[in-house]
A and B are shown apart, each in its own frame.
Chain A
Amino acid sequence: MTRLRFDNVSASYGRGEVLCGVTCSLHAGAITAIVGPNGSGKTTLFRTVVAPRGAGVRRTGGAVLLDGEPVEQLATRRRVARIAYIPQRPSVAGAFTVQAIVELGRYALRDNAQAVRQAVRRAGLLGMERLIYGELSVGEQQRVTLARALTQIHGGEADAVVLADEPTSAMDIRHEVSAMAVFRELSQAGVAVGLVVHDLQRARRWADRAVLLDAGRVVAEGEADDILTPQRLGPVFGVHFVDDSLAEPVADAQT
């Protein structure tokens, strides 16, 4: 079932369009991988949702619909409770503790100590609550941001969307696996998970569905197994794969 729908979305940072009429969907209860080369508009696609009145990026056309309702028309509390965002490079100014950052997930919502505790545990941050965010490794910081997002949608998973932009890129393998397990659990609870991911093998391993972007346009959308194939990915990324496992791609000769 479609939870979040991008309907002919165009977006721009001022000069030239970064997204040109993107139409695709995130389904409730599914992990949708967003894949595509650098600069194909993956991050921008998420930003058109979380900052509808724009922080830099401007939507120049189309609509983003949450269960049929334009996201910019949602009241702040409803939007916050239903759409959580995990940015690619989270940054925090000031010496805030892990606990304080995770609690920010409830900024616009009713305080919920249990949600915070549970999120800390699920993100593997037990015992780290008093540490200073800025002094953690990037992988640990990504876990804090994950916990913050979990706190935010706590209790409303059945209606929620989580937009995660390379959420595990700096995590060690153990934490990556457990973080991905968390996303899997979320999708099983009904969350529509959007996952920007670079590692195509992992995308195929974790995702139910996939959207393939190239130069701001959707090249293909559908079941992950149908989209994440050497035939589809090769031309878009400019590589060819030695076999169906998507391992060991070889760059096409420059023309």
Chain B
Amino acid sequence: MRARVVTVIASLVIVLVLVCLCRLIAGSTIGWPGTDILELRAARLTSGVAIGAALAVSGVLLQALLRNPLASPFILGLASGAGFGVVLAVYVGFRLGMDSIRYAPNWGPALVGAMASLGLVFAFGRRRGQLDPIGLILVGVVVSAIFGAGTLLVLHLLPADEMATLTRWMMGRVSEDRSWAVIGLIAGGTALGTIVATWLGPALDGAALGDDEAISIGVPLPVLRPVLLLLAGALTAGAVVLAGPIAFVGLICPHVVRLLSGPGHRSLVIGSALLGAALIVGADALVSSFRVAGGRLPIGIFTALIGGPIFIWILRSRWRAGT
């Protein structure tokens, strides 16, 4: 088992390195670029690694804590919360004539929106003072729907050019309008979050038991749940800041790694972070090297197109295996 885990992690590291190399040479022209373009590609590469790792680790944490393999940052409404935050900020800036809000990089409101929806899910997904796995998912779906409707409402009130811009933002893509400081902050935070999650791997294993049983073997579940939910929320918010809403990465990566290296959460966290990073960087390299209708495809469309079928395939194969 240990040998298998090492093999899987090593393979994923190699895949990630190769994909990163591809990202650096892929673009409007294939090949090693000049300094200016190299800096742009390096920034997108770093963003991509952070986005993928953050979403995937967030997915692992949520699935473990809610004991629900369908949990993911997006099902819990974080993405729609972030989306709503962004469009609301643009609308407020537009209405009040405050340029500093209207044209600001949208990461502040995205963060507030993601955290607000997490707060709502957290506040209303509890039963008798306890976070309840089913309750969280249900409330997440409802919060997601409400924020989605709010987003559509606000879009409706904006002028056409703003609406078109925001609609593109909501398709998800690796933003190029982020300074190295912001990218560095989020990448650093993601690395830190991944380390914390890895360190807590055995606790997540323990949480695989029922609540009472987990507590009886010493897993500090009542403390662990809120702390790790917050960590998952922060990771997702970071990814949304860099990319807008990108679906399926947080759902798919933990599933694939679980199939490869087993259920242990130490290897699951590390493997998912690597796979998520490779997935986003690879997808970004791909969308950067060809044009659709004269332009680049938003990466969010790409991940959903690839991720959806993979998810259904995993679901089917697990059903066939009878688990």
Query: How many Å from the CB of A109 to the closest CB on chain B?
Result: 8
On whether A14 and B128 interact (CB within 8 A), knowing A90-B209, A95-B263, the answer reads yes
Interface check A70, CB cutoff 8 A = no
Residues of B within 8 Å of A50, CB to CB, are 212-213, 215-216
The reply to whether B217 and A56 form a contact with Cβ atoms under 8 Å apart is: no
The reply to whether B128 and A13 form a contact with Cβ atoms under 8 Å apart is: yes
The reply to whether B215 and A55 form a contact with Cβ atoms under 8 Å apart is: yes
The reply to whether B222 and A53 form a contact with Cβ atoms under 8 Å apart is: yes
Query: CB within 8 Å of A: which of B181-207?
Result: 202-203, 205-206
Secondary structure class of chain A's binding surface, majority of residues: mixed
Query: How many Å from the CB of B228 to the closest CB on chain A?
Result: 15
The reply to whether A135 and B215 form a contact with Cβ atoms under 8 Å apart is: no
Residues of A within 8 Å of B323, CB to CB, are 95, 132, 134-135
Q: How far is the CA of A201 from the CA of B208 in the complex (A)?
A: 35
1/0 per residue, CB under 8 A from B, across A40-65: the answer is 00000001001101111010000000
The reply to whether A107 and B67 form a contact with Cβ atoms under 8 Å apart is: no
Which residue from chain B places its CB closest to the CB of A80 in the assembled complex?
A: B218
Interface check B105, CB cutoff 8 A = no
Query: CB within 8 Å of B: which of A1-30?
Result: 13-14
Which residue from chain A places its CB closest to the CB of B69 in the assembled complex?
A: A93
Query: CB within 8 Å of B: which of A136-150?
Result: 145, 148
Interface check A100, CB cutoff 8 A = yes
Query: How many Å from the CB of B125 to the closest CB on chain A?
Result: 14
Query: How many Å from the CB of B200 to the closest CB on chain A?
Result: 12
Which residue from chain B places its CB closest to the CB of A85 in the assembled complex?
A: B216
The reply to whether A56 and B262 form a contact with Cβ atoms under 8 Å apart is: no
Interface check B33, CB cutoff 8 A = no
Q: How far is the CA of A51 from the CA of B221 in the complex (A)?
A: 10
Residues of B within 8 Å of A80, CB to CB, are 216-218
Size category, B interface:
20 to 34
Interface check A245, CB cutoff 8 A = no
The reply to whether A84 and B216 form a contact with Cβ atoms under 8 Å apart is: yes
Which residue from chain B places its CB closest to the CB of A130 in the assembled complex?
A: B1
Which residue from chain A places its CB closest to the CB of B207 in the assembled complex?
A: A93
The reply to whether B215 and A51 form a contact with Cβ atoms under 8 Å apart is: yes
Residues of B within 8 Å of A14, CB to CB, are 128
Which residue from chain A places its CB closest to the CB of B318 in the assembled complex?
A: A95
Q: How far is the CA of A135 from the CA of B67 in the complex (A)?
A: 17
Among candidates A54, A85, A96, A108, residue contacting B213 with C-beta atoms closer than 8 Å: A85
Which residue from chain A places its CB closest to the CB of B259 in the assembled complex?
A: A95
The reply to whether B210 and A54 form a contact with Cβ atoms under 8 Å apart is: no
The reply to whether B264 and A76 form a contact with Cβ atoms under 8 Å apart is: no
The reply to whether A107 and B218 form a contact with Cβ atoms under 8 Å apart is: yes
Among candidates B208, B218, B222, residue contacting A55 with C-beta atoms closer than 8 Å: B222
Residues of A within 8 Å of B220, CB to CB, are 76
| 14 sample A-B contacts, Cβ–Cβ < 8 Å, listed by A number | A50-B215, A53-B222, A55-B130, A55-B212, A56-B130, A76-B218, A85-B213, A87-B210, A90-B209, A92-B208, A96-B205, A96-B208, A100-B264, A107-B202
Given A79-B218, A85-B212, A100-B205, 10 new contacts (CB under 8 A): A54-B130, A55-B211, A80-B217, A85-B213, A87-B212, A93-B67, A96-B263, A100-B263, A107-B203, A108-B218
